Chains A and B, each alone.
Chain A
Amino acid sequence: MNLRSGIAVLGRLVAIGALAFAANAQAQKEPIKIGAFVSATGPAAFLGDPEQKTLALYVEKINAGGGVLGRRLKLISYDSAGDAEKARTFVKRLIEEDKVDAIVGGSTTGETMAVIPLVEQAQIPFISLAGAVVVVEPVKKWVFKTPATDRMACEKIFQDMNARKISKIGLITGSGAFDKSMRAQCMAVAPKYGIDIVGDETYGAQDTDMTAQLTKLRQNAQVRAVLNCGFGAGPAIVTKNFRQIGMTVPLYQSHGVASKEFIKLAGDAANGVRLPAAALLVADTLPFNDPQKHVVLDYQHAYEARYHQDVSTFGGHAYDGLMLIVQAMKNAGTTDDAKVRDALEHIHGFIGIDGEFNFSPTDHMGLSLAAFRMLEIQNGNWTLVK
């Protein structure tokens, strides 16, 4: 080897070393990619919009606080507009092109169910923001979810009915997927609580008047309380019609309408309505020893300061989804998909907006009935039912 070629080799080595060093530094600084797909527009926008805003806000906050494992978070978010087909396309893109480390999203049950085969195949931790039990029952290895299920809402409501010694009730259900799923779950758990469903009415998604259906329930002397499974404008109209035709039995609504919007729409008619809801709604009135108090208050203040909008529980689902992923990555000490998944499954006593999460290999939702508080609307405001 002559001198010249020796220098050349040395030069090349130096160059390679420099490249390797640069690549190494790059790897250290390479952000952790969090993939998201939510219905920021479209019919489920009231879910996806606060979810999207919450994710953006908290990724920013986490980065300002130094990121996770010394790396920044990068949010790659798509708007699936409530469309299951779009959700599939975007999740494919998140997995194959964006190569994300974990996925949070799926505002509706339809979108979530459509992408489960994809994430299971790609083996990426996925936290769904959808309500229905089918998401986590049966348990899927890579799929977790944050919102409490409709079955738990039914159980909470039936518990309250038991306490009031009500055993015969009428159901009125909207035609949406959420509405129908909740009706089915309530029917399924009713016998367990000794509840007899003696009236069963439905209404369409865009119906503007439910007095005909409610009159049927009113004429049924057996009905001692009415439970409305639904969300959107329907329950507000049901509540107004309920008062209009002078019904006096207790009226229960689902957690689906647990937002200030509902009170605003139903007005005075909302007074006396009971519903199960997450702690977020009554953050101010929670006792100081409640473990969730400071978590929900912090979230509420941060969200309202940034967006000048009332917080909703839906944004809370996204907060929990993101924070659980971050917690799992911290616990695992890596972003390795399998290890993060295992860490998620072992998360215990994590206090989120939706409640206290205790995941296990057989429970990928992790909440107990305590996640729901029974509320009654009084004078246009929420009060805790003791």
Chain B
Amino acid sequence: MSAQLLQVLFAGLTAGAIYALVALGFSIIYNSSQVINFAQGEFVMIGGMATVSFLHLGLPLPLAALAAVAATTLVALALDKLAVERARNASVVTLIIITIGASILLRGLASLVWDKNIHALPAFSGDKPISVGGATLLPQSLWVLGVSLAVLAALWWFFNRTLYGKAMLATSHNRLAAQLAGISVRRVLLVSFGLSGALGALAGILVAPITFTAWDVGVMLGLKGFAAAILGGLGSGPGAVLGGLLLGLAEALAAGYVSSAYKDVIAFVIILAVLVLMPGGLLGRRAAERV
């Protein structure tokens, strides 16, 4: 394998893991409510920006990261309690529009609470690139990949091995039946928002040393994460990860071998093709069930 190809693959995997974490957040909320939470990108932004703030207050990095995850989770819970839950009888489209409004509000608030500058976080374990076969990899990329895998494993355990996770899955399959079986749908929704918030924050913290963070980074990360979720199949955890990695690799390969000008185009063409040819995504379950 040539050094160039290897370098491109590393770039693709790192970007892909970031998209995957964002896509997971989309999937969790989608599962419990059929709502696509367009404020997911803002959770990513808040995670990164809050960590920068807590660092400035003098907290050590791990503590600052933890505090930022907690803060973002609170914001996500508040979003559910104050906006989504109050409109729970509204149609899904209305709820989606509410999340779009929330994302604009959160972005505006962030630009006031913090500032409009771009901030960097120090890398968790140094900036010294690791050399592999003529290509180089940043230690932070390993962090991103490793934590993504760990999160995926933890989520699998949560959804398949705990009562709470199963209740959430049940709600995603049939809301009414779940309610009749004694599951508090309201609480499931609350937990899914909290979980997505924490996940988004984690993504934001992991990527901030590589990509920097600012009040408006949520827009594009949210969009790419959404695309990844669609590609992998909305609502599917492994699908979100697969979609994210594929999207990241496709973008990097396009930039490295075709033309960097068409990088984003190629990514979105793939999404369009998936939507037309297999609307359920690669690992989605709905397309088959609905027939």
Chain A positions near chain B (C-beta within 8 angstroms): 41, 43, 45-46, 49, 201-209, 211-213, 215-216, 219, 232-233, 236-237, 240, 243-246, 261, 264-265, 267-269
Contact = CB atoms under 8 A, between A and B. Distances in A.
Contact of B116 (A46, A204, A216, A264): A46
Given A202-B260, A246-B136, A213 B255 contact: yes
A209 B210 contact: yes
A183 B226 CA distance: 32
B7 A232 contact: no
Query: Most chain-A Cβ atoms within 10 A of its Cβ — which of B3, B119, B211, B221?
Result: B211
Interface stretch (B9-17, B54-62, B155-163): B9-17
B116 A244 contact: no
A207 B120 CA distance: 15
Contact of B212 (A46, A201, A202, A265): A265
B165 interface: no
A191 B74 CA distance: 58
Nearest to A204: B264
Interface in B157-205: none
Given A45-B116, A244-B138, A211 B212 contact: no
Q: Is the interface of A mostly helix, strand, loop or mixed?
A: helix
State the 6 A-B residue pairs at the shortest beta-carbon distance, nearest first. A206-B220, A208-B211, A212-B256, A45-B116, A212-B255, A211-B11
Interface in B113-156: 116-120, 127, 129, 131, 135-136, 138
Interface of B: 3-4, 7-8, 10-12, 14-15, 18, 111, 116-120, 127, 129, 131, 135-136, 138, 207, 210-212, 214, 216-217, 219-221, 252-253, 255-256, 259-261, 263-264
Contacts of A46: 116-117
Contacts of B255: 203, 212-213
A233 B15 contact: no
Nearest to A46: B116
Query: Most chain-A Cβ atoms within 10 A of its Cβ — which of B8, B118, B217?
Result: B118
A212 B120 contact: no
Contact of B4 (A45, A216, A243, A268): A216
Nearest to B12: A212
Given A203-B255, A209-B15, A237 B212 contact: yes
A216 B256 contact: yes
A244 B136 contact: yes
Contacts of B127: 240, 267-269
26 contacts: A41-B111, A201-B260, A202-B259, A202-B260, A203-B255, A208-B15, A208-B211, A211-B7, A211-B11, A212-B12, A212-B253, A212-B255, A212-B260, A215-B7, A215-B135, A219-B4, A233-B212, A236-B120, A240-B210, A244-B138, A245-B7, A245-B129, A245-B136, A246-B131, A264-B120, A267-B120
Contacts of B117: 46, 261
Contact of B219 (A49, A204, A206): A206
Contacts of B3: 215
A41 B210 CA distance: 25
A206 B217 contact: yes
B252 A209 contact: yes
Contact of B14 (A205, A209, A246): A209
A236 B11 contact: no
Given A211-B8, A245-B136, 17 more contacts: A41-B111, A43-B216, A46-B117, A202-B261, A203-B255, A203-B260, A204-B264, A206-B219, A208-B18, A209-B15, A211-B10, A216-B4, A233-B211, A244-B136, A245-B129, A261-B117, A265-B119
Contacts of A41: 111, 116
B8 A212 contact: yes
A237 B260 contact: no
Given A208-B18, A244-B129, A246-B129, A215 B8 contact: yes
